[in-house]
Amino acid sequence: MEAALLAWYDEHARDLPWRRTRDPYAILVSEVMLQQTQVARVVPRYLAWLERWPTVEALADASAADVIRAWQGLGYNRRALNLHRASRHVAAHAWPQDLTELPGVGRYTADAVARFAYELDVLPVDTNVRRVLDRTGERFAPEAAHALMDLGATICLARIPRCSACPLTERCPSRGKTYAPLRKQGRFEGSFRQRRAQTLRLVSEGRHHVAQLDREAVEALRKDGFVVLEGDRVELAN
Task: For 199-235, write each residue's pLDDT tens digit.
Answer: 988 888 887 888 889 989 999 999 988 899 888 889 9
Q: What is residue 185's predicted lDDT score, i.e. its pLDDT? A: 62
Measured between alpha carbons, how far is 168 from 212 in angstroms, rounded to an integer?
57
Q: What is residue 23's predicted lDDT score, i.e. its pLDDT? A: 98
Measured between alpha carbons, how far is 98 from 125 in angstroms, rounded to an integer?
17
Measured between alpha carbons, how far is 145 from 78 in angstroms, rounded to an integer?
27
Q: What is residue 224's predicted lDDT score, i.e. its pLDDT? A: 86
**Catalytic-role residue among 11, 31, 119, 138:** 31
Q: What is residue 208's predicted lDDT score, i.e. its pLDDT? A: 83
Full set of structural domains in the chain with CATH? 23-118 (1.10.340.30), 192-236 (no CATH)
Neighbours of 205 (CB within 10 A): 11
Q: What is residue 61's predicted lDDT score, i.e. its pLDDT? A: 98
Residue 50 near residue 29, CB atoms below 8 Å: yes
Residue 158 near residue 131, CB atoms below 8 Å: yes
Name the average pLDDT for the chain: 93
For residue 235, the cross-strand partners are 228
Q: What is residue 186's predicted lDDT score, i.e. its pLDDT? A: 67
pLDDT band at 197 (very low <50, low <70, confident <90, very high): confident
31 is catalytic: yes
Q: What is residue 192's predicted lDDT score, i.e. its pLDDT? A: 87
Distance of CA 120 to the CA centre of its chain: 20
- In this predicted structure, the answer to whether residue 184 has a pLDDT above a threshold of 80 is no
Measured between alpha carbons, how far is 164 from 144 in angstroms, rounded to an integer?
21
Nearest to 109, CA basis, from 33, 192, 185: 33
The pLDDT tens digits for 97-156 are 999 999 999 999 999 999 999 999 999 999 999 999 999 999 999 999 999 999 999 999
pLDDT band at 41 (very low <50, low <70, confident <90, very high): very high
